[in-house]
A and B are shown apart, each in its own frame.
Chain A
Amino acid sequence: MSSYSNGGFFNAAYHDSETLEIDRRSSSKTHHTNPYAREDPAWRGERAETHHSSTGWSSSDDVGRAPWGSRQDESWRGRESIPMGVLSTHQGSPSWQHDHNHSTFQIAPDSQYDRTMSIRLPSSGNMTMRWRGLAMRRMSMFPTAGPDQLAFAEDAIRDEMENEEQKLVEELVALSTRDRIRAIQDLPMSFEEKKHIRNQVLAFKSSKQSHQFTCFADCSENVSLSLRRCGYNINSARQTLELWQGIMKEIGGKFGTSVLSYFLFLKWLLMFNIFSFLVNFGLITIPVLVYDHSPNKPPNVNFRGLEILTGAGYFNYTVMYYGGYSNETLEGLVDYNMQLSYFFTIAVYMVLCGIALIFSMASSFRKNYVLADSSSNSAWQLLCSWNFSITNEKAVTQRMNNLCVQLKESLSEKAQGELLTRSEKLKHFGIYLGSWLLSTSLAVGCGASVYYLCQFEQQEVTDADHWSLTQEAETLLVPFMVSLINLVVPLFYSLFNKFEHYSSQRRQIYALVLRNVLLKVSILGVLCYYWMNVVAEKFSCWESMVGQALYRLVIVDFFFLMLGSFFGEFLSNVIGTRFLPRLGVPEFDVARNVLELIYAQTLAWIGIYFSPLLPTIQILKFFIMFYLKKVSLTQNCQPPRRSGRAAQMQTIFIGLLFFPFFVGALSMVAYTAWRLTPSERCGPFRGLNSTFSVVGVWIDDLEEIPGSDWVVWIYQNVIRSEIFYFLITLIILVFIYIFWQVTKGRKDLIVLLRQQIVNEGKDKSFLLEKLQNLQKANPNKKPKPKNHKKHTKRRSDDQSSGGQSTSNAMVQALLARQRLEDDEERHSAGGLPVPSDISTSSVLMQAMLARQRADKQDEDLCQMPNKHQTSSSALAMAMQARGRAEDHGRDEYYGAEDFSENSFNRSSTLMQSMQARQRAEENAAYDVDDPSSSVSSVMMQVMQARQRAEEQDRIQVPAAPQNPAPSGSSSLIQAMLARQQAQNEYDDGY
């Protein structure tokens, strides 16, 4: 073909680039799954009106035409031959946009139609997105419309809105009631519009159902309605009843999410404890109390008051501790085996805790870490961190300052990071090393001192029924020291932190948290070791002693927490405001406070075996803590100046709660149950070798009862067999490996997809650049940048010269639109629209519009001197239309079930687009020799043939409404034949 001119535009390297090619193709495959992306170029195109001109698009033609010269005959069949096929998504917009400019008002709805069609979605789930995009477009239309264009734009918009609304209503009708309500709620529209939509949907639905009215349907409708209302009411009631809801809101509004996360964590732990209290109290304590409610205490033990602190003495003989429970089988209405209930309650509780922790940790991790990208930190800070629910003026200024400081820091960090000299780096490294050594040795030293203190206490305390007051008070020494360490040492740690220079604030927080965890773990580890090895040997009822020790730790820790928030926060507030304003108001240290909570919860978990009612104390403690912290926060503190991402911190806290602390507590309890000998004189397990052997005894009993063989079998072959655990471990390992591989693969995929997005962007910018170059090169092609103004000018041009074929094309477009609307109406009357049909018709429309535009450009060609580009642009348009048609065809092919009908549809669209292409080529061929008269004559013929075909089509359609697609395609085939004939004639004549 002689028109094959790449001029200066064809960039071979760009075009032949393998990766781009692949990217494009794969994106064309996937773009229909992301309807929003597909739609986006449409309105982007509208915005980019300044680029619009008939020459403007020729840059892509030069790229796209390369493979055309060689295989123009059969190339429409294969997708491989259209490397730029995906461009149709980018340039789908010009097809209608062009109409805006050229045509009169009658065409306008047509173009709107095309747009609504082109953005049709495969699934209704995303309809809100589409609607949203539309609404956005609607907004954007107003500012762009000039005064002369306003009436037109409003007209068009109204039409568009109506069409869109109908589609939406149809989609909504197809949904279930609950989904529909949610979808309507999700629409970004005003109240009035939502009401309107809802009424329409209901009306549509009722009209559809009216003819199949039955009493049953009516009843069920009513029942479901009232149930739904009831559900809403319960939901809202639950929200208002939810614990501390108002306070939470207030805290969130005044101090932001990071402080709020502390309170949420506190509440979560409180719920945990309430659950464990209910379980323990209901399954262990109540049976004992019902059976025998008088504590069997010796006569000389009385309640003296100090017990509340120490937990010793009187409490020792109540159900508070392990020792207060008997090993009997309680005989009431049913026999209640105390041993079994104690063992299984604790075991099941621990397992449930573990599962709950794992699940909340995993979901929180998935939500907050895997998705969150650490690289987009400043974007997050700027655009996502603003909390619109903050209502306090002080908090607003505080947050603004924080943001300012953080942004400045991140900027200066970047600048500084590269300037550090080697000696400075060495110095920093030395400081890290020193402070880590110091903090670790502090933790170890604290552990050792606690151990010696415990040994000292063990010498003092005797295994007697009755302690003197001083003896009882001495037991408070260890918990006091432990709590003191927990209060003071973290202060040293934060002091170290001030000397270190961490490159990021997150690392600083992590280091601090890690050191604190180390300290707490070492203390708890030493205590556990002491209880397991020393206390268990010495005391006759050692479980109760451990329970007492834990009780004391919990209580003293509580007092220290109160004191800490009083002295730590209140006093430093007073000092900061009155005496040393330099220090300022103290900040609420989320990390430290949360670690305190974690520590307290760990004590409760360890104690669950030794003191089943410890959760009661814990509930009280947390409940008081909540109000205390809230008051202290509002009175004394300011929001933290440097806050990390709250959600991520929360994940870390839950993770910490699980890993060293819960796992530690679990293994401690498990060790106690499997290995240690229960005390012989007290408790439910007296006389057994280990707690776990209670299960063996039970199984032995079961063997005598017929019908319970399966339990025995499970015990023998599953619980006690090593092979079972071996197999389980093996299977789990295999699964872990598989999932790990899957994750790896997904990571690779993510990298690839990202690369692809970048490539798409490059694509776009490349084309835009070309476009701009072209615009600069041909300023006469496009006298005014605003297409609205050009619109009128163009129209006059059209009328002056090539009026006839223009009107022909217009008539065609109108006819096509009418037919489409007929189709639509038929579909909507006959039931729900079949998606494949609609997409077909949209493809049809697009092809038509592309053709129409090709006509226009052809006409321009007659007037304007610059032919090559226009003709080639027409060609490209046609080609794009074809590409798009094929895309749609393929989508249909995969998406629909009715293959036969689909093949018809597909062939029709393909033919359409092929015609468009052929004619465009034809035009291009004319264009070379510039026989303008013959062009118009052949054109006229073609038009008439087409028109006739379409008229036939219209006649056929009412006659055979059941099977529109085949008839349509047959008439189209006719039209195509006519066209080919015309071409042949022309060739002959030439």
Chain B
Amino acid sequence: MLIRLFYRYRDLAPQLVPLDYTNHPDVKLPYELIGSMPELKDNPFRQRIAEVFSEDGEGNMTLDDFLDMFSVLSEMAPRDLKAYYAFKIYDFNNDDFICKSDLQKTLNKLTRNELTEDEVRMVCEKVMDEADLDNDGRLSLEDFQHMIVRAPDFLR
């Protein structure tokens, strides 16, 4: 499994990645290559995913980051872990809360800007209304997890 993933990683840029990893060479693949993988290519969140899992926060991945990403995206990963990373993916401005602007970004990514501004605002308000338990105007990780507990088909 690991070896397969390594070859996947290497295939993205054979000229960059050496075959011999015994002395831990410092190799990073740029986001352009990661984002063009078939698993991510059509995902509207591909940039966010790459950013969240990469160590430098810009989508450039080392082999370890790459392995991390696949271990979380695999179906064997625990649900809690997935929820945690999903939260981070939705948290566009990295402030540990999903606030309204994050929701708007999510919505725009999911609907490709087809909703009008008014509709986006209304949907965001509704979501906040439903999911924000402590009424602080933003979703914390607990709010998110609480919602996910009640959504059994989340990330199945």
Contact = CB atoms under 8 A, between A and B. Distances in A.
B95 A758 contact: no
User: Most chain-B CB neighbours within 10 Å: which of A383, A390, A396?
Assistant: A383
Contacts of A242: none
B78 A384 contact: no
Interface in A326-385: 367-368, 371-373, 375-380, 382-384
User: Most chain-A CB neighbours within 10 Å: which of B65, B88, B150?
Assistant: B150
A182 B76 CA distance: 12
User: Most chain-B CB neighbours within 10 Å: which of A37, A404, A758?
Assistant: A404
Interface stretch (A16-24, A72-80, A133-141): A133-141
A143 B142 CA distance: 22
A895 B15 CA distance: 59
A388 B151 contact: no
Contacts of A393: 41-42
B43 A133 contact: no
Given A191-B64, A372-B152, A388-B45, A383 B90 contact: yes
Nearest to A252: B156
A647 to B, nearest CB: 4
A191 B71 contact: yes
B94 A140 contact: yes
B117 interface: no
Contact of A400 (B98, B111, B134): B111
B96 A136 contact: yes
B94 A383 contact: no
A188 B71 CA distance: 11
Main secondary structure of the interface of A (DSSP, over half): helix
B140 interface: yes
A638 B149 CA distance: 30
Contacts of B17: none
A712 to B, nearest CB: 49
Contacts of B123: 378, 382, 407, 411
Contact of B115 (A40, A136, A408): A408
Given A140-B96, A143-B94, A188-B81, A407 B135 contact: no
B127 A378 contact: yes
B73 interface: yes
Interface stretch (A286-294, A457-465, A759-767, A914-922): A759-767
Nearest to A183: B78
Contact of A133 (B45, B141, B150): B141
B94 A760 contact: no
B153 A764 contact: no
Contact of A391 (B38, B103, B119, B142): B38
Given A376-B131, A411-B123, A400 B112 contact: yes
Interface string B27-46: 00000000000110111110
A400 B113 CA distance: 10
Contacts of A762: 135
Contacts of B88: 136
A379 B96 contact: no
A47 B78 CA distance: 29
Contacts of A371: 149-150, 152
A761 B136 contact: yes
A392 interface: yes
Contacts of B58: none
A404 B113 CA distance: 9
A694 to B, nearest CB: 45
Interface string B78-108: 1011001110101000111010000100110
A936 B144 CA distance: 50
Contacts of A252: 156
A190 B133 CA distance: 31
Q: How large is the interface on A (under 10, 10 to 19, 20 to 34, 35 or more residues)?
A: 35 or more
A378 B134 contact: no
A188 B53 CA distance: 11
Contact of B150 (A132, A372, A765): A372
B98 to A, nearest CB: 8
Contacts of A36: 141-142
B11 interface: no
Contact of B103 (A375, A376, A382): A382
A140 B57 CA distance: 12
Nearest to B37: A391
B111 A407 contact: yes
B151 A380 contact: yes
A384 B147 contact: yes
Contacts of A407: 107, 111, 115, 119, 123
B85 A188 contact: yes
B21 to A, nearest CB: 13
B65 A190 contact: yes
Contact of A372 (B90, B144, B151): B151
Contact of B122 (A411, A760, A764): A411
A757 interface: yes
B13 interface: no
A965 interface: no
Interface of B: 38-39, 41-45, 49, 55, 64-65, 67-68, 71, 73, 75, 78, 80-81, 84-86, 88, 90, 94-96, 98, 103, 106-107, 110-112, 114-115, 119, 122-123, 126-127, 130-131, 133-136, 140-142, 144, 147-156
5 contacts: A371-B150, A389-B73, A404-B112, A408-B115, A411-B122
Nearest 3 A/B pairs, CB to CB? A761-B135, A761-B134, A647-B153
Interface of A: 36-37, 40, 43-44, 47, 128-129, 132-133, 136-137, 139-140, 143, 182, 185-186, 188, 190-192, 252, 257, 367-368, 371-373, 375-380, 382-384, 386-393, 396, 400, 403-404, 407-408, 411, 645-647, 754, 757-758, 760-762, 764-765
Given A188-B85, A391-B39, A645-B151, 10 more contacts: A44-B140, A140-B94, A186-B78, A192-B64, A382-B127, A383-B90, A391-B42, A403-B111, A754-B133, A764-B134
